[in-house]
Amino acid sequence: MLPNYKRRFLDTLLFSNVFIACCAVAQGGMTYLLLSLPIDNTVLAILGCATLALYNFSMILAKPQHPESSPFRRVRWVFRHERSLWMWTGAALITAFLLGLQLHMPSFILLGVMGVMGVAYNLPIVRVAGERRRAGLRQITGLKLFYIGLVWVMSSVLLPVAEAYHDNITILWPHVWQLMAWVFLFVVAITIPFDIRDIYQDRYYGLKTIPVLVGERRALVLSTALLTAQMGWVWFSDYPLDIRLALVTASGLCLSFILVPPIKKNEYYYFLFLDGTMLLQFVAVWLVLRC
């Protein structure tokens, strides 16, 4: 059992989405390292602020009727601090916009497209089949995982590459497409356990996620297959052995978290251990290149 002050710190770090914002910055940093591009701190700051704003906005917009009685610690924490999160979200959004004005126009447009996609994920813009109400794009059958994977690819790979390209920096496009595929496979693989956790809640609210459609066991097999495919692809790539080892080790650790979780599957497991593997990837590559 964690002491109260440590638990409060973890709650704030994880449930305010500061941690996942740091993971987004790390994924962008990994793009710069793997593609041998000069690091653009403005782009990384935009990634952190935009991720914080979009994740908080999505969480607040999905407010249940009685959040105080939710079985999820995160939901109860978020809506106890809803006013503060709105302020954080507004500040992050304004900062991302102002920094975005420093980008080249194609990169700024790409940033805007990602913002629209992030907002559309929850806004009621599509009609639910057989019902009068409208819902966000997340309601479209089987779309959630691939939508999230695409947004992460666009933000952590395409945005840094687009800005570097318009700075007339040489881009190795085969490595870009390869990295996009790696990120997509990895993000989708680690998102599936979140959907497995929420399977009963998603059924109640009518969300057609992969675990709801195919069941928990098959969803877990899909997560394992995607992560194994990503590891195999990395291993047989043309990167130096030490970088391949670093990436495969990080993915292998993630796979162990999914198949043989070392701790009870509470919300810290999902938001710290699974999401944290994105940060671990960057740290592993950075350490290899530094040495």
pLDDT of residue 112: 93
Q: Which residues pair with 126 in a beta bridge?
A: 135
Fold of 4-290: Farnesyl Diphosphate Synthase (1.10.600)
Cβ neighbours of 57 (radius 10 Å): 23
pLDDT of residue 91: 96
Token pair recorded at residue 66: 């009685």
Token pair recorded at residue 134: 């409208």
pLDDT of residue 201 exceeding 80: no
Q: Which of 123, 176, 184, 130 is nearest to 152 (CA)?
A: 184
pLDDT of residue 75: 82
Q: Which of 85, 92, 94 is nearest to 60 (CA)?
A: 85
Per-chain mean pLDDT for the chain: 86
pLDDT of residue 28: 97
pLDDT of residue 128 exceeding 60: no
Crossing angle of helices 105-120 and 144-153, rounded to 10° = 160
Q: CA-CA distance, 17 to 246, in Å (whole number)?
A: 26
**What residue ranges do the domains of the chain occupy?**
4-290
> Is 59 exposed, middle or buried, given 0-12, 13-18 or 19+ CB atoms closer than 10 A?
buried
Q: Which residues contact 157 (CB under 8 A, 6 or more apart)?
A: 31, 176, 179, 180, 183
pLDDT of residue 264 exceeding 70: no
> Is 253 exposed, middle or buried, given 0-12, 13-18 or 19+ CB atoms closer than 10 A?
middle
Distances (CA, A) of 266 to 75, 194, 234, 251: 13, 11, 30, 21
The letter for the amino acid at 220 is L
pLDDT digits (tens, 9 = 90+) for 31-59: 999 999 999 999 999 999 999 999 998 88
> Is 238 exposed, middle or buried, given 0-12, 13-18 or 19+ CB atoms closer than 10 A?
exposed
pTM above 0.85, yes or no: yes
The letter for the amino acid at 259 is L
- The pLDDT of 273-286, averaged and rounded, is 93
End-to-end CA distance of the chain: 37
pLDDT of residue 22 exceeding 70: yes
Q: Which of 79, 58, 60 is nearest to 68 (CA)?
A: 79
